[in-house]
Chain A
Amino acid sequence: MTTISTPTIELKAYTKKELVGDQPTWCPGCGDFSILATYFKLLEKRQIPREKIISIAGIGCSSRFPYFVNAYGVHFVHGRAAAFATGVSLTRPDLHVCVFSGDGDAYSIGGNHLTHAARKNIKMTLVVMDNQVYGLTKKQTSPTSPIGFKSKTDLTGSVDHPINPMKQLIAAGATFIARSHSHMPNHVADVMDQAIGHDGFSVVEVLSECTEFFPGAFDGANPRKGGAFTLVPKEHDVTDEAGAYKLAMADFPGYFGVFLKVNRPTKNALEAGLINDAKSKIGTAVPLEMLQKSFDRFA
C-alpha cells in the first residue's frame, strides 16, 4: 500500500531495559525465555524505532510472547497469527512484523496459514518455539511429538507420525528457513538476526524445551547434556532446495543453522507493483474522479 509516514518522537537510542514489558508468566527454565532475551538483544542492536515494532501471536505458552515486549503487540486467536500478520504486513510496509508461535499453533491449527504465508512470501519473520508438546493446555500430544511420547491424550504413547517442520517449510515455499535450539542462545541470535534481515517470509524453528511437560526433550541436541549440536555443513548451498531437504531428512538431533535462503519477490512488492501499474495508467485522477468514471460507465 502507499507508504505511510508516521511521526517519530523517539530519536534517542534505546536499551534492552526499555523493551521489557510484562513479567513473563513462563515456568522457571522454560526454553522460551532465551528467545525473548535474544529478541531484546537484536532489537537493541538494530535500533528499530519502538513504535514500528510489532509482535503478533496466536495462543499457547509461547504465544504469550507479545505481552513481554514493550512495543506494539497483538494476541490473536489460536493458529491464525500468520494470517493476521499478513494483513498488517501488506498494509504497513513501515512496520517490522514478527510472529511468535508454538508447534501446535503453527503446525497444527495454523498449518494452512503457515503454508500460504510462505508461498506468498509475505514479508515477516516467524519464530516457532517448538517444544513438541501442548504446554498451555498441559501436556497433550502435539504435531511434532515423537512417536511413543506419553501425553494426556496418548497415555500409552503417541502413535501418529510427527510433522517434520523443516520439510514442511521447504515444501511450502518459505524463502528463509533456519533451525536452532534455545539452549544455544548465540546460535539463536545469529539465525534470528539473519531472518529479520531477510526480505521475505523468514522462519526460525527453535527447539525450545518445555521443562514442565516434556523435560529433556532436546538433550540429545545439547552438548552440555552430552548431545550433538551439529551445524549445517559449511559447504551447504543455501539456495539449493534439494540440499536443504536432505538436511531436513536427517534423524534427530539433525542439523542447526540456515537450511534455505532464496530471493523471490515478496507479495508486498508484487502488490506494490500492481498498484504502481494501475496508478501509472490513471495518472493523477483522485478517488472521486475515478469512482465517478466507474459510475458513468453504469449510466
Chain B
Amino acid sequence: MTEKTSGSTGVGGITAAPNKQTIQDVVIRFAGNSQDGIQSIGGLLARLAGRTEKDVMTYMTIPATISGGPSIFQVRLGTGDVLSAGDEVDILVAFYQHSYKDNIQTLRKGGILLYDSDNVQPDPNDKTYRTVGVPITSRTVEAIGGTAKDKGKNMFVLGLVARTFDLDMPKLEAMLQAGYGRKGEDVIRNILGAFHGGYAYDIGKLMETFEFRPQADRAGKKKVVTDGNQAIAYGAIAAGVRFGAAYPITPWTSVMEILRAELPKYGGMFVQAEDEIAAVAMACGASYAGHTALTGTSGPGLSLKSEAIGWAVMAEIPLVVVDVQRGGPATGLPTNVEQSDLNIARSGSHGDAPRIVIAPGSVEDCFYTTVEAVKLAREYSCPVILLSDQALATRVEAWDMPDLKKHVTDISPTFEPRGPNFKPYENTPDGIPHHAAPGTPMVDGKYPIVTGLEHDEYGHPASRPSNHAMMVAKRRRKLQMLSLKLPPPEMYGPPEGNVLLLGWGSSRGPICEAVDRARANGEEVSAIHLRYLLPLQAGIQEIMQSFNHILVVELNDRGVYGYGQLGGIMRAMYCDPRIRGINKTDGLPFKVREILDQLHQRLPAVNTAGMD
C-alpha cells in the first residue's frame, strides 16, 4: 500500500477513523486453484475500479495445463497512475495450504495474510506478516443455504474485499446481476448469497479497513477495462480490418476468438487456418485482393510465417502480423512472458527484408498500436509486425474510453482504372508502390503480375544486377522515409541526468515506476520508451548524450556478447560503449525492485547523483 504524497512504499496511511486507513493504492493477490474462479474476482474488481475512477492493473498466471491447478490473480487498485502490477503484495488471500506456501514469499513485510481457516494452517512462528483467518469454505456453504458444495468461495471473498476496502456495493451488485443474471435464478441467488455473506462477515473485528484517497483529476473520465488481446482485436476492427486468418496458439488465441465472433457483424470474417503458414498466406491473398488483412500468432508461429512475410516485403503487400510473445525458443514457456522475438520480428526472413516493427507499452497502447499498424502497413505497403506479449495479453487494465470516431476507418478497396504504362513498383523517391487490386481495369489492357521474384518497375521478373540493387534500396528507402516522420521517443523524467533507462513493450510501466522510485530517492534516473523498433525513432542519440549511463531494460537474455536484443541493436546503431543491459529471463514481468537492483549493481556509484 502506498501513500503517494509521502513517496514511501511501506504502510503509509493517514488514519481517518479508528481502524480505517486512507490509502493511495493496494496490491491484493488471490491464490487458489483455477476452478475457484480466481480470475472472476480479479476481473470484477478491475471493472469496478474502472467505473469508480480508480486506476487498476492486474497480473495473472493461468496454469499451462488444462485440468485446473494452482492459479493466481493479482490486482493493484489505486487512485493515482498505476504503472505496474506491484512488486510486493499487501494482502495475500490464500484458499489452500499450497496457495499459502507458494505465494507467501510475495507478501511484503508487515502485509496481511487473509486465509481460509478451513483449509490453511499458516506457520505460527513466522512473524513477518500478520495473519487473519476467516472460515471461507464453511461460511460460503452457510451463506448459500447449506449445500455441501463450496462453489461461490470467490464471491464470498469478493464480499470480504468489498467490506475491507469500502468498495461501491451497489455497483458491484449491479455488475454481478449483469454478468450472471442470464445464468438463471438459482445461480444468481447463490452468487449474491455468497457475496453478501462475505460482506456481512465482520472483518473489521479482525483487522483494519481501508478507503481510497480520492483523486480529483480522475473524476468524469470514462474508462474501459480490457486485457491486451481484447484491445488488439477491437483495434483491428476500428482500423477497418475485415479479414484475418490464424492458427490457435497461447497467448495469441483470444484475439482470433474475438475476431472470429465479431467480424461477421462488420461484413468480414476470420479464418482458422490449417497452420501458421497457411494463415499468413491467406492474409497475403486477402491483402493482395484489396482487403488489408491481419494474421497473428506467438513465437513458434512467427518462425513459420517468416517466408511469406518475406514475400510480402518483396511483393510490397500490406500485411499486419501480431506476435503475442511468450518464452522461447521452440515451445518454450507458453504461459510466460518474454521479449525475445525482437530479432526475428525485425529480420526474421531470408534476404534483406525490411518491415515495420512496433510494440505496445500498455493494454491501452495495444489498441492504438494496432490501429497504427494497419495504417502503416497500408501507407508503406509492407508487413508490419506488432510485438505484444503474454503479460499484456493476460493483464487487465482500466484505460480511457477511446474516441472511436477518430479511429473507425473504412479501408475497402477502390478500383479506379489504371494506366497506360502502369508501373506498380515505380522507383520514386519515397519508394512507395501503388498497387492495383484485381478487378481494377487497365486502360491499355496489360495486367500486372505480383511476384516474389525480384522484378522491375512493372512487376516483371528481372534478375539484372542493377535492378536488384535498385529495388532493394527502394524497399529499404520506405522505412527511411518513415523514420523521418516518427515522433521523438517518449521521455519519462527530465531529459538529462545520470542514468537513462531505455525500454520497449510491456516493460514500460515498471520502468516508469523505477524512475519514480529512484527520483524519490534522489537519483537522477530518466527513461525513454521505444514504440517503434524498426525503423527506430530519430532523436535517441541526442537524448543519450545527456546522460552518463544507458541501460537497456528488456525481458530477454544478455546474449553471448553481453547485450539483450534491443541492447545489441542500440550498440550497432550508435557504437556507444556506454550502452549496457538490464535483462531477465525468469518468464515474469519486471518488478520495479528488480530493475533498481540491477541498476545499482551495475552502477554502484549511481547513488551519488550527477557523478561526472
Contact = CB atoms under 8 A, between A and B. Distances in A.
A299 B439 contact: no
A80 B281 CA distance: 7
Contacts of B50: 299
B229 interface: no
What's the interface size class on B, roughly? 35 or more
A292 B281 contact: no
B234 A67 contact: no
A90 B311 contact: no
Dominant secondary structure at the A interface? helix
Given A75-B453, A271-B269, A9 B443 contact: yes
Contacts of A94: 439
Contacts of A298: 224-226, 230
B410 to A, nearest CB: 8
Contacts of B308: 76-77, 80
Contacts of A74: 285, 288, 449-451
Contact of B441 (A51, A77, A86): A51
Tell which of A73, A287, A288 has the most Cβ of chain B within 10 Å.
A287
A287 B226 CA distance: 20
B277 A83 contact: yes
B238 A291 contact: yes
Given A73-B450, A116-B273, A6 B278 contact: no
A80 B410 CA distance: 29
B284 A76 contact: yes
A163 interface: no
B197 to A, nearest CB: 28
A187 interface: no
Interface stretch (B111-119, B400-408, B521-529): B400-408
B142 interface: no
A73 to B, nearest CB: 4
Given A84-B281, A113-B281, A9 B441 contact: yes
Nearest to A14: B445
Nearest to B269: A271
Given A87-B281, A88-B288, A299 B438 contact: no
A76 B415 contact: no
Interface in A216-250: none
A92 interface: yes
B245 interface: yes
B448 interface: yes
Nearest to B448: A72
A83 B452 CA distance: 16
Given A92-B290, A291-B237, A73 B439 contact: no
B264 A67 contact: no
What's the interface size class on A, roughly? 35 or more
A145 B236 CA distance: 46
Tell which of A9, A67, A92 has the most Cβ of chain B within 10 Å.
A92
A10 interface: yes
B602 interface: no
Contacts of A1: 242-243, 267-269, 291
Interface stretch (A29-37, A205-213, A277-285): A277-285
Contacts of B191: none
Given A87-B243, A91-B291, A275-B264, A51 B286 contact: no
B286 A70 contact: no
Contacts of A70: 445-447
B450 A87 contact: no
B303 to A, nearest CB: 15
Interface in A11-60: 18, 21-22, 50-52, 54, 56
A297 to B, nearest CB: 9
B274 A112 contact: yes
A277 B269 CA distance: 13
A86 B438 contact: no
Contacts of A277: 264
B349 to A, nearest CB: 11
Given A287-B408, A291-B237, A279 B265 contact: yes
Nearest to A3: B267
Given A1-B291, A50-B445, A77 B243 contact: no
B430 interface: no
A89 B51 CA distance: 44
Contact of A67 (B265, B438, B461): B461
19 contacts: A2-B267, A6-B439, A7-B415, A74-B449, A84-B284, A87-B245, A87-B283, A87-B287, A87-B288, A88-B288, A88-B438, A92-B438, A94-B439, A95-B439, A275-B264, A281-B265, A287-B237, A295-B401, A295-B404
Given A92-B438, A112-B278, 11 more contacts: A50-B445, A56-B285, A84-B288, A87-B285, A91-B286, A116-B274, A287-B408, A288-B408, A298-B224, A299-B222, A299-B225
